[in-house]
Amino acid sequence: DIQLTQSPSFLSASVGDRVTITCRASQGISSYLAWYQQKPGKAPKLLIYAASTLQSGVPSRFSGTGSGTEFTLRISSLQPEDSATYYCQQLNSNPHTFGQGTKLEIK
């Protein structure tokens, strides 16, 4: 299985900050990576796919970069509603593994 390692596991930042979450794959996955946001008690929501394509309706402050084994999710100007857990998922090969998650807290 391809392992995805997210860092950090926990992040605390203030409104207006720029934050970066990293996802590293144990082997190359081209650009077949998605990012999801999950709020407590809710299903995950797709933010970004193909490493850098913003899903329709997602605010432009979210962006994704990377290919191969290293990927990043950036939030350019943190908003209170961005408090959530963020997951990456690789779609290159079965099983479509997820990262362990990054919990983002707003100070």
Residue 89 one-letter amino acid? Q
> How far, in Å, CA of 20 to CA of 29, rounded?
20
> How far, in Å, CA of 102 to CA of 78, rounded?
15
What distance, in Å, lies between the first and last C-alpha atoms of the chain? 36
Residue 22 CB, shortest distance to another protein, in Å, is: 16
Question: Of the two residues 35 and 78, which places its CB atom closer to another protein in the complex?
Answer: 35
**One of 49, 62, 71, 86 touching another protein (CB under 8 A):** 49
How far is CA 106 from each of CA 1, 4, 24, 81, rounded to the nearest angstrom? Answer: 33, 25, 24, 9
Residue 7 CB, shortest distance to another protein, in Å, is: 14
Residue 6 one-letter amino acid? Q
Question: Of the two residues 17 and 45, which places its CB atom closer to another protein in the complex?
Answer: 45
**One of 23, 73, 101, 104 touching another protein (CB under 8 A):** 101
Q: Retrieve residue 100's tokens.
A: 């362990």
User: Binding of another protein at residue 43 (CB under 8 A)?
Assistant: yes
From the list 14-22, 40-48, 58-66, 74-82, the region that binds another protein by CB under 8 A is 40-48
Interface residues toward another protein, by CB under 8 A: 1, 32, 34, 36, 43-46, 49, 55, 87, 89, 91-92, 94-101
